[in-house]
Amino acid sequence: MVRILNTKQIKALDAHTIEHEPVKSIDLMERACRAFVNWFVQRIDATKKIGIVCGTGNNGGDGLGIARMLHDWGYPVKVWIVRGLVPESADFKTNLERIKGEPEIADIITESDKGLFTDRDVLIDAIFGSGLSRPADGIYAQAIRCMNETDAMRIAVDIPSGLLADNPSSGDIIKAHYTVSFQIPKLAFFFPHSHPFTGEWTTVDIGLHKDFIRQSETSHFLVTAKDITRIIRPRKRFDHKGTFGHALIIAGGYGKMGAALLASAAALRSGPGLLSVHVPKSGYTILQTALPEAMASIDTHEHFFTEAPSLEKYSTIGIGPGIGQEPATVKALAQVLANFKAPLVIDADALNILGVNPELMKRIPENSILTPHPKEFERLAGKWDNDFQRLEKQKRLASELKCVVVLKGAYSSIATPDGKVYFNPTGNPGMAKGGSGDVLTGILTGLLAQGYSAEETALAGVYLHGLAGDIGSREKGTFSLIATDLVEFLPQSFKTVLNKF
């Protein structure tokens, strides 16, 4: 689990490392510069003309150190220093002295200094780092705009200048193609509206104290492969189908029987002992033909879900994909929520029904998993002004319902009833297609049936689903990947995670 710390904590972490390693502040900066340069030289050809735009705080100090190192590597480097009101930090001064005439340095001192960087192939942004406390304005905003106007590849040091790590941002912000961040990912990196500024981001290790990181209080985490390997239990010699639970999927409707098939196929590939699928009458032949391993439970209605079967024998239920929102379906969902006391997985139309029938929300069993995409989430929780507010709403919903709320998208976030949020790293835009969510519902239902907790199920299920998408898109490409492929690559996804140790 990677702990996502706020800027105050990162500052304290820097200070702790300086005091207890001990290491001089300037030497820690040198380490940060070296880590950046190490990333850089592996990707950028030494013939490219590099421009480094520095502020006068420590982020600018990094920029100067990076300039010296890239010059030593043989890159043609030019440095600009944005001279606004920020006082020169001690380490900035030291790194300025260390440059000794080469590479060439120019000061940007007035807002009329425009069109400065046009001959550069690559621009490194070291104006502001995690010290930014308000929107960039004046000469800083001007320098940011100037950088954004060029055709150069832009690479941000630690965080794009102008982007706040822990709060919504406004004003001019560097539009980086890449962000190389020091050790700790910033919360803003996980949000859709930050992406045009961070571009592709990565973290580089600069040896900040691991114990201090471990002890820092946070409710935000980034999931790693190791976490999932720890969750998934290998099956034992004498295990039998009774060990792994009986899952029920309630899904599908006339014209949307595919949703039931996708969810059910994914559930079957996720390991429950038994799977039953409740579909309208018109789905009977389709289901029995497509998925011989699944048992059919048939609704009395030809075309949609109107009546839950007897539920006692099921360990869990996954409900929602393709069920529609007919009044009889609303009643049938209410009946399921009234009669089933164990955690279930609620998705798609079941969420939409809850959105317009909020009184049903109170009936959701504790530790259930809700899997809205942003539109479904808006129907449940209302509109938001920015991504940070959306996250707060997600946390609140999880805590009020005492459920796990999975908000789907890039870096799907998983909010738990006790206030934690896990961001998932797997998945790709190839999965932005109808049916991908149905597959996730199936995986989660299959895992929950086997006795994994709601939190374990959500962490593992979301990770494995995204990983299946990543493995699948390597073979099929992001344009051609379809939801069926996610099911096809699910076995490889499980195998990858199980073979980690």
Ligand X SMILES: NC(=O)C1=CN([C@@H]2O[C@H](COP(=O)(O)OP(=O)(O)OC[C@H]3O[C@@H](n4cnc5c(N)ncnc54)[C@H](O)[C@@H]3O)[C@@H](O)[C@H]2O)[C@@H](O)CC1
Q: Which residues are annotated as a binding site for (6S)-NADPHX?
A: 58-62, 129-135, 140, 158, 259, 322, 373, 438
Among 42, 112, 133, 289, binds ligand X (CB under 6 A): 133
Site string for ligand ADP, 350-389 (x = CB under 6 A): -----------------------x----------------
In whole angstroms, what is the distance from residue 27 CA to residue 192 CA? 35
Q: From the list ligand X, K ion, ligand ADP, none, which binds 55 (C-beta under 5 to 8 Å, kind-based)? A: ligand X
Give the integer Cα–Cα distance in Å for 332 and 307. 5
Stretch that binds K ion, among 123-131, 212-220, 240-248, 480-488 (CB under 5 A): 123-131
Binding residue positions: 58-62, 125, 129-135, 140, 158, 161, 259, 322, 373, 408-412, 437-438
Q: Does position 196 bind ligand ADP by CB under 6 A? A: no
In this chain, which residue has its C-beta nearest to ligand ADP? 437
What is the nearest approach in angstroms of ligand X to the Cβ of residue 171?
Answer: 8
- Is residue 142 within the footprint of K ion (CB under 5 A)? no
Residues marked as binding for AMP? Answer: 408-412, 437
Residue type, 262: L
Helices H / strands E in the chain, number of each: 17, 18
> Binding of ligand X at residue 66 (CB under 6 A)?
no
Cα–Cα distances in Å, from 446 out to 238, 276, 450?
20, 11, 7
Q: What is the DSSP code (8-state) at residue 16?
A: H
* Distance of closest approach, residue 140 Cβ to K ion, in angstroms: 11
Annotated binding site for K(+): 59, 125, 161
Per the CB < 8 A criterion, the answer to whether 216 and 9 are in contact is yes
Helix (H) or strand (E) segment spanning residue 297: strand 295-298
- Residue number of the CB atom closest to K ion: 161
Q: Are 460 and 385 in contact (CB under 8 A)?
A: no
Alpha-carbon distance of 468 to 486, in angstroms, equals 5
Asked if 112 is part of the footprint of ligand X (rule: CB under 6 A), the reply reads no
Residue 125's binding partner out of K ion, ligand ADP, ligand X, none, with CB under 5 to 8 Å set by partner kind? K ion
N- to C-terminal Cα distance for the chain? 16
* Interface characters, 5-34, with ligand X (x: CB under 6 A): ---------x----------x--xx--x--
Q: Are 45 and 20 in contact (CB under 8 A)?
A: no
Write down the least CB distance from residue 259 to ligand ADP, Å: 7
Using rule CB under 6 A, residue 129 touches ligand X: yes
Side chain identity at residue 16, one-letter code: H
The closest alpha carbon to 363, from 387, 391, 335, belongs to 335
Interacting residues of 466 by C-beta distance below 8 A, sequence separation 6+: 412, 424, 425, 426, 427, 428, 431
Site residues for ligand X, 153-182, by CB under 6 A, read 157-158, 182
Pairing between β-strand 220-222 and β-strand 421-423 as defined by DSSP bridges: parallel
Span near K ion by CB under 5 A; candidates 4-12, 158-166, 310-318, 485-493:
158-166
Biggest CA-to-CA distance, the chain: 84
Residues contacting ligand X: total by CB under 6 A = 27
Q: CA 140, CA 468: separation in Å to the nearest integer?
A: 43
Q: Binders of ligand ADP among 410-469, rule CB under 6 A?
A: 410, 412, 427-429, 431-432, 434-438, 440, 465-466
Interacting residues toward ligand X by CB under 6 A: 14, 25, 28-29, 32, 55, 57-60, 62, 84, 86, 89, 128-136, 140, 157-158, 182
